[in-house]
Chain A
Amino acid sequence: MSSVLYDVPGPRAIARNRILGVVTIVVVAAIAGFFVWRLWETGQFSAEKWYAFTFTNVWLQVGAALLRTLQAFAVAAVGALALGFILAIGRMSVHAWVRVPVGAVVELLRAVPVLIFMFLLYYGLPVLGVKMEPYWAVVIALIAYNGSVLAEVFRAGVEALPRGQSEAGYAIGLRKSGVMRLILLPQAIRAMLPVIIAQLVVTLKDTALGYIITYQELLFYARYIGSQSTYGSPIVPATIVVGIIYIALCLLLSLVAVRVEKRLRRSAKIATAAPEALDQEMTATRVIAVQSGLDGAAGHDGR
């Protein structure tokens, strides 16, 4: 295996790599061992700490909290996709009086941390006499942020298409809306599908911010059950359980993105549509840039 960093290894390199491999295993095992030892030492494996999770009712509550997480995610995802379309089309408008304000809105929404937007909706709006449920604060904030990011993704997808595509559309007599709807957007969406799904993973992750504004989702329930002293305050077990659920959900969605990407790469149709764009624009760099919320598009942090 040759890479830009190293050549095909010879006997000495192979021996060295083996030693490095052993060192890696030892270091990682030491770190993992330390945590297992601390878990053991502080009695996290004791029956008492896990007692809470033997009740059907607790699991029903976990299920209900999970459902609230998914509910916020589903509404936010659909809303963000819709808003993304509207903003993208507005931003690609030929009329400056549409394009410029929409562009400003997109930039603004992307620059504001999602949590601050949630705060504004949940704590700020009551000052103006609008009382808002935590659920709606979470959903609206997620729609606004992810919608603006998706708008940039759609726009990047359309702009990566060869000019000839829209020219051919106009040549056969389509109007602008027809060119966009029938020719450009379907190709752009297909090419950008992995990035779009990656952004949906960010949306799913960011629903956890709802915990901070007391939306009763999974994390909120983990905190609740973790602080019940009648069960011996099982905060560590609760974190582990909820962590596994979150990671499993996001991994599942991420796997879909990887699958779709592989499929697109094999598909000849896309390859002819925008070979350059796919190779250069759709590298991991691009996905990260989009996922992390800026460039041509959080954390996801973001979020």
Chain B
Amino acid sequence: MGVITDYLPLWGETLLGTIVLFFGGGALALVLGTLVGAMRVSPVPIARGIGILYVNTIRNTPLTLVFFAFAFALPPLLGLRLTSGVSLTLAISALGIYTATYVAETIRSGINTVPVGQAEAARALGLTFGQVMTLVVLPQAFRSVIPPMMSVFIALLKNTTVAAGFSVVNLGSIRANMSEDGENQFIVLLWVMAIFVALVLLLSWAQRALENRWKVAR
């Protein structure tokens, strides 16, 4: 227990770092992913093409490489000075841009689960485009998307640790701090694992709760 109680501020700081990365990256991924997802299902061929290009390229890029590019290649390119705030922003961007592809695909597949007949019936009733979307299609798509979307966010939570390789403070980087103080790294890492298991369990519990509440009966 010593490694926890003797270093409470450090654990707090790193946990906060993980949470900031998670929510920052998640917010960016949701915005960008929704945009790309919308492009991929849009009637504009160019937008579809660009959406496919984005998703296929980024999904086939290792997250470490995305981080690498943001941490080392982008600063000289944009003339950035690497303060801790800039590093954090770059890390959040890397996570967001990578996760956005998964969000986009999840949204797209959610829309694909809505039977075409639903929209056709709605149109036949004389609903306008806005009504078809907000009353018929999107509520069903949104609900069917909850479990895979939560999986995407669980993966995002675990991926925040990659930022540790690029000197951004988070639970993955606590090991380095502790080893400077000569603490037992094995024990420290076991604690980090335990925290992640707890956080993932929390998210899966949230997923089940939401799923049961909003499941579409078909």
CB-CB contacts of A114-141 with B at 8 A, as 1s and 0s? Answer: 1111011001110110000000000000
Bound form: Cα–Cα A207–B63 in Å: 10
Q: Residues on A close to B: CB < 8 A?
A: 1-7, 9, 13, 17, 20-21, 24-25, 28, 35, 38-39, 42, 44, 108, 111-117, 119-120, 123-125, 127-128, 201, 204-209, 211-212, 219, 222-223, 226, 235-236, 239-240, 242-243, 246-247, 250-251, 254, 283-286, 288-289, 291-295, 298-303
Q: Note all chain B residues with C-beta closer than 8 A to A286.
A: 148
Q: Note all chain B residues with C-beta closer than 8 A to A223.
A: 68, 72
Does more than half of chain B's interface fall in helix, strand or loop, or is it mixed?
A: helix
Q: Shortest CB–CB separation between residue A66 and chain B, in angstroms?
A: 13
Q: Shortest CB–CB separation between residue B172 and chain A, in angstroms?
A: 6
Given A247-B57, A295-B147, A302-B63, A239 and B42 contact (CB-CB distance below 8 Å): no
Tell me if B175 and A123 are in contact (CB < 8 A).
yes
Tell me if A115 and B161 are in contact (CB < 8 A).
yes
CB-CB contacts of B90-123 with A at 8 A, as 1s and 0s? Answer: 0000000010001001101111111110111001
Chain A, residue nearest B184 (CB) = A127
Given A239-B73, A289-B147, A292-B152, A208 and B201 contact (CB-CB distance below 8 Å): no
**Segment 119-165 of B: residues with Cβ below 8 Å from A:** 119-120, 123, 129, 133, 137, 144-145, 147-148, 150-152, 154-155, 158-159, 161-162, 164-165
Tell me if B155 and A250 are in contact (CB < 8 A).
no
Could you name 27 residue pairs across A and B whose Cβ atoms are closer than 8 Å?
A4-B112, A4-B116, A4-B118, A4-B137, A5-B41, A6-B129, A7-B123, A21-B46, A38-B78, A39-B77, A42-B76, A113-B161, A115-B165, A116-B193, A124-B188, A205-B62, A209-B162, A211-B64, A250-B59, A254-B59, A283-B113, A288-B106, A294-B154, A294-B204, A298-B158, A301-B158, A301-B162
Q: Note all chain B residues with C-beta closer than 8 A to A108.
A: 197
**Segment 184-209 of B: residues with Cβ below 8 Å from A:** 184-186, 188-190, 192-193, 196-197, 200-201, 204
Q: Note all chain A residues with C-beta closer than 8 A to B112.
A: 4, 283-284
Q: Is B60 an interface residue when CB atoms closer than 8 A count as contact?
A: yes
Q: Residues on B close to A: CB < 8 A?
A: 39, 41-47, 50, 56-57, 59-65, 68-69, 72-73, 76-79, 98, 102, 105-106, 108-116, 118-120, 123, 129, 133, 137, 144-145, 147-148, 150-152, 154-155, 158-159, 161-162, 164-165, 171-172, 175, 179, 184-186, 188-190, 192-193, 196-197, 200-201, 204
Bound form: Cα–Cα A115–B59 in Å: 19
Tell me if B42 and A120 are in contact (CB < 8 A).
no
Question: CB within 8 A of B43: which of A6, A251, A254?
Answer: A6
Bound form: Cα–Cα A21–B64 in Å: 33
Q: Shortest CB–CB separation between residue B200 and chain A, in angstroms?
A: 4
Q: Note all chain B residues with C-beta closer than 8 A to A116.
A: 161, 171-172, 189, 192-193, 196
Tell me if B60 and A289 are in contact (CB < 8 A).
no
Tell me if A20 and B47 are in contact (CB < 8 A).
yes
List 11 extra interface pairs beyond A116-B172, A119-B172, A302-B63, CB under 8 A.
A3-B41, A4-B114, A108-B197, A111-B200, A115-B172, A119-B192, A207-B62, A212-B64, A283-B109, A284-B108, A295-B151
Q: Note all chain A residues with C-beta closer than 8 A to B62.
A: 204-209, 219, 246, 250, 303
Does more than half of chain A's interface fall in helix, strand or loop, or is it mixed?
A: helix
Tell me if B159 and A302 are in contact (CB < 8 A).
yes
Tell me if A226 and B72 are in contact (CB < 8 A).
yes
Q: Note all chain B residues with C-beta closer than 8 A to A6.
A: 43, 129
Q: Note all chain B residues with C-beta closer than 8 A to A117.
A: 193
Bound form: Cα–Cα A283–B197 in Å: 28
Tell me if B184 and A21 are in contact (CB < 8 A).
no
Q: Shortest CB–CB separation between residue B158 and chain A, in angstroms?
A: 4
- Residue in B60, B72, B145, B150 whose Cβ sees the most chain A Cβ within 10 Å: B60
Q: Note all chain B residues with C-beta closer than 8 A to A1.
A: 43
Q: Note all chain A residues with C-beta closer than 8 A to B98.
A: 301
Q: Note all chain A residues with C-beta closer than 8 A to B108.
A: 284
List the 7 closest A-B pairs by CB distance, nearest first: A212-B165, A250-B60, A208-B62, A124-B186, A208-B64, A113-B158, A292-B155
Bound form: Cα–Cα A119–B114 in Å: 43
Tell me if A113 and B77 are in contact (CB < 8 A).
no
Q: Note all chain B residues with C-beta closer than 8 A to A303.
A: 62-63, 155, 158-159, 162
Tell me if B186 and A120 are in contact (CB < 8 A).
yes
